[in-house]
Chain A
């Protein structure tokens, strides 16, 4: 009985190590392109890879309960590129003490894909596209306020006669663009 009690105490103490973690270190994110450059008047694929710290989860883009704050990739309006689609991964159902039913959440590595369209009049050059990966993280006992990771993607537009080289193929294979 005493061993059980101390085991419970130790478990709680280990679980507590993550409580005071700075919000900005709970999720780290960066963006990658599917090709090394883009052509005007053509689609281009972008992926955001987010890493959720162990012990924490963020909500599914379509949360299980209406009061939960969804994970969302927000791309800032751009004169050169238009967002055509954003593809979110499927969440993992998980049980928590504060909910009767399992909640759909993201843990570990989260990959969100974006299909963009380069404008027909975009000149060759380098452009910065800004975005935010917005989320709200919790562990089993406490929640952190909603926040976001700022992202800046550098997109190089080249003439149509310059071939595009695929990169990060393993990442984009995981995304089901329609």
Chain B
């Protein structure tokens, strides 16, 4: 009787598809399908987690960016009596224009702003005028005469300081959909410059930061965006941040200010000069120097003349 070689040991047997168990391809396919489905579910799940949980949380804590700081919030009443909050315009491109009716260069820009408002409002743009006139009457007259088509509020010193001080009028800020300041222009500016910047910012989605934005026109050092410090602006000694002083030190510091005369020619002591004229650069510097001396000496005691 001829000896037979077991089938499983023959080379032919190892190559033959009939030698594989019939369940393996199906099991493999099932595994592949399950793996694919799981991957899809994972990716989709991660997408929604990011969109509705992670990204909003990140947006809620904006990173500080020196080049494009967040525009300081404000809440004022416009000249028609309606409340106006900058936060109401989140998601829109805003041109914030500090101006006054007595300012010739400001007045010639207004018709251009009216035109920009007409042209781009539907795309998510708005002008906001901040007048620094002493009273609303001339602003209301101007608003009617020029048929302004965007909101105008009466500003104040504090708002100007929050926006880094107004080196001159007009001073205009371009704010993107993300609420960040992308450009600052001091003085009358060619309307084509504003239009270029507005169009560029309108093209950016609200969720994105315009990382590649370049301010149009000629950029001067004075156009760099540096905002004011609210702690200093709202301080008992205007322009000086007293938050690092204890209550006793604050009292001692104010007494020292009151005992020293400002050299700006006002004939007031430093404390009075700061309170009466927050724009006085001389008293601000002298007060700041005194504060720094105070902070260096941790054991400061009351010293008055």
Contact = CB atoms under 8 A, between A and B. Distances in A.
Interface stretch (A9-17, A40-48, A71-79, A162-170): A9-17
Q: Which of A22, A67, A144, A150 has the most CB of B within 10 A?
A: A67
Contact of B188 (A9, A97, A144): A97
B188 A141 contact: yes
Interface in B217-231: 218, 220-222
Interface string B101-132: 11111111000000000000000000000001
B238 interface: no
Contacts, number: 80
Interface in B175-230: 186-188, 218, 220-222
B108 A142 contact: no
Contacts of A136: 102
Contact of B108 (A12, A22, A23, A97): A97
A24 B280 contact: yes
A152 B267 contact: yes
Interface in B4-29: none
Nearest to B279: A23
Interface string B158-188: 0000000011111100000000000000111
A19 B220 contact: yes
B138 interface: yes
Is chain B's binding surface mostly helix, strand, loop or mixed? loop
Given A141-B188, A142-B169, A24 B105 contact: no
A67 B281 contact: no
A31 to B, nearest CB: 12
Contacts of B266: 150
Contacts of A54: none
B103 A143 contact: yes
Interface in A4-63: 9, 12-13, 16, 19-20, 22-24
Contact of B105 (A23, A138, A145): A138
Q: Which of A24, A99, A149 has the most CB of B within 10 A?
A: A24
Nearest to B104: A98
B49 interface: no
A96 interface: yes
Contacts of B187: 16, 19, 141-142
Interface residues of A, number: 29
Interface string B251-264: 00000000000001
A75 B279 CA distance: 23
B83 interface: no
Nearest to A28: B265
Nearest to B265: A150
Nearest to A30: B265
A62 B90 CA distance: 45
A98 B132 CA distance: 19
15 contacts: A12-B218, A13-B220, A19-B186, A20-B221, A24-B279, A24-B281, A68-B102, A97-B105, A98-B104, A98-B188, A142-B171, A143-B104, A143-B169, A145-B166, A145-B169
Interface of B: 100-108, 132, 138, 166-171, 186-188, 218, 220-222, 264-267, 279-281
Interface of A: 9, 12-13, 16, 19-20, 22-24, 67-69, 96-99, 103, 136, 138-139, 141-146, 149-150, 152
